[in-house]
Amino acid sequence: MKGHTHLLIGGAVGIPLAVIIPASAIPSSLPAFAISCALSGVAALLPDIDHERSTISTFLRRNLGGSKHSRGRHRGGTHSFFGTAIAGLLAGLAFHQLDPPLALPAAVIVALGYLSHLVADVISPYPMRWLWPFRRHPIRPRWIPAIPHSGFEGQLVELATIGVVLAIFVLAGAHWFA
Ligand SMILES: [Zn+2]
């Protein structure tokens, strides 16, 4: 899937998770909703940091500089449960510095947003190293249909996903602001 689709899916994961952000940490409900979606959305971009042409790598290169270089095997350690846990842990530590009551909610939101990327990537024909570093062998369950994202089918799935996620955002927004 493309970066913006991962961003949208991850953002949608953040909608229900807004409830775990303590009201004491954030006074109004609007920022909690926005913060949760933003956190999980950005987290959903992170696994593709191992791909030089991904949305997150391009963004970092443009803003922080650096040149295009391979960061190792695509869909390696960043596409694993271990990578998910590390992302959650780092977010927890960072938010602990900012505001300790936000540490655990941020860790959970980032981990689940990150995980949404891995789940969305399962339809890709390429196997992922889910159990890295414990098992380096790439895994791809055969019962899941393999849909290359560049093909017609892949683009259809991508469009359908975007449509569904946007509908979820509209419904959630209507509910939230009602
Ligand atoms: Zn990916």
Q: What is the pLDDT along the chain (178 residues), one digit of tens a residue?
A: 899 999 999 999 999 999 999 888 776 766 788 899 999 999 999 999 988 888 888 888 888 877 666 556 677 789 999 999 999 999 999 999 999 999 999 999 999 999 999 999 999 998 999 999 999 899 998 899 899 888 899 999 999 999 999 999 999 888 877 7
Q: What is the pTM of this model?
A: 0.91
Q: What domain count does the chain have?
A: 1
Q: How far is ligand 1, taken at its centre, from the CA of residue 30, in Å? A: 30
Q: Are 121 and 135 in contact (CB under 8 A)?
A: no
Q: How far is ligand 1, taken at its centre, from the CA of residue 48, in Å? A: 5
Q: How far is ligand 1, taken at its centre, from the CA of residue 172, in Å? A: 26
pLDDT at 23: 83
pLDDT at 52: 83
pLDDT at 69: 60
- Domain range enclosing 117: 3-63+71-177
Q: How far is ligand 1, taken at its centre, from the CA of residue 19, in Å? A: 27
pLDDT at 68: 64
Candidates 162, 159, 164, 130; CA nearest to 144 is 130
Q: How far is ligand 1, taken at its centre, from the CA of residue 2, in Å? A: 9
pLDDT at 32: 86
Q: How far is ligand 1, taken at its centre, from the CA of residue 117, in Å? A: 6
Q: How far is ligand 1, taken at its centre, from the CA of residue 63, in Å? A: 21
Helix axis angle, 103-120 to 81-98, nearest 10°: 150
Q: Are 113 and 15 in contact (CB under 8 A)?
A: no
Q: How far is ligand 1, taken at its centre, from the CA of residue 82, in Å? A: 15
Count how many residues are written for the chain: 178
Q: How far is ligand 1, taken at its centre, from the CA of residue 95, in Å? A: 25
Q: How far is ligand 1, taken at its centre, from the CA of residue 55, in Å? A: 11
Q: How far is ligand 1, taken at its centre, from the CA of residue 83, in Å? A: 12
